[in-house]
Amino acid sequence: MLPLQLSLMRKSDASQAGPPLWHPNFRDYERLPDTKVVRTTFFLNAAAIAIAASLLLVVGYREYRFYGISNQVAEAQAEIDKNQGQSKAALQHSKLFADEEAKILEANAFVLRPVAPSDLILLLGQTLPKEVQIESADIHFGEAGTSVCILHGLIAGTKDQASGAASNYVDVLRGAPKLAAVFDSVTLNSLNADTRSGVLSFEIALIFKSPGKAKKP
């Protein structure tokens, strides 16, 4: 048995030692069709379509929003144009009301004035020094704390003398009992040289007291 096994083994080895079985491969893989169940080009096309659809949706949504905003603007403008006439009329009525209110307040302040203009002129004349000349007295009766009497006048003498005389006149106005009962403050606003006459011109502001504080002189 042993020689037979050896002979068989030798035949098998001899058959394996022969040249391998093969044949040439002439396939061109680049030109062969895609035999996959789902081709690669399908995924590429699907991705391109999805991107294009997304961009189209974004653009469409923006156009829709722009269209809605444009409609809202147009509606708001139409409402503004519609109410413009009413607004102008309301402004005109408001201005008329403000003007009439100012007249009423001025008339009320005049009625409640602490002193009559004629009495005030007499009081100013009683306290007027010889070197001081009053050219005008502007009296304005307004709301509480806004009624004022502005005196414009001239003072003779040198600049130093006129300046001292103006200060003294202000002190006289402040110290006069009848004027102190009417005015809350007396202030020298300005003192300037008058080029026409060569003297000094002054402006003095006398602020009336509020109706509740003022006393009849």
Q: State pLDDT tens for residues 80-100.
A: 877 777 777 778 888 888 887
pLDDT tens per residue across all 217 residues of the chain = 444 444 445 444 444 555 555 666 666 666 656 555 556 666 777 788 888 888 888 888 888 888 888 888 888 888 787 777 777 777 888 888 888 777 776 666 555 556 677 778 888 888 888 888 888 888 887 665 678 889 998 887 778 888 888 889 899 989 888 888 888 889 999 888 766 666 888 899 988 887 655 555 5
What are the domain boundaries of the chain?
38-111, 117-208
pTM attached to this predicted model: 0.46
Q: State pLDDT tens for residues 16-48.
A: 555 555 666 666 666 656 555 556 666 777 788
Reduced 3-state DSSP string for the chain: CHHHHHHHHHHHHHHHCCCCCCCCCCCCCCCCCCCCCCCHHHHHHHHHHHHHHHHHHHHHHHHHHHHHHHHHHHHHHHHHHHHHHHHHHHHHHHHHHHHHHHHHHHHHHHHCCCCCHHHHHHHHHHCCCCCEEEEEEEEECCCCCCCEEEEEEEECCCHHHHHHHHHHHHHHHHHCHHHHCCEEEEEEEEEEECCCCCCEEEEEEEEECCCCCCCCC
Report the CATH architecture of 117-208: 2-Layer Sandwich (3.30)
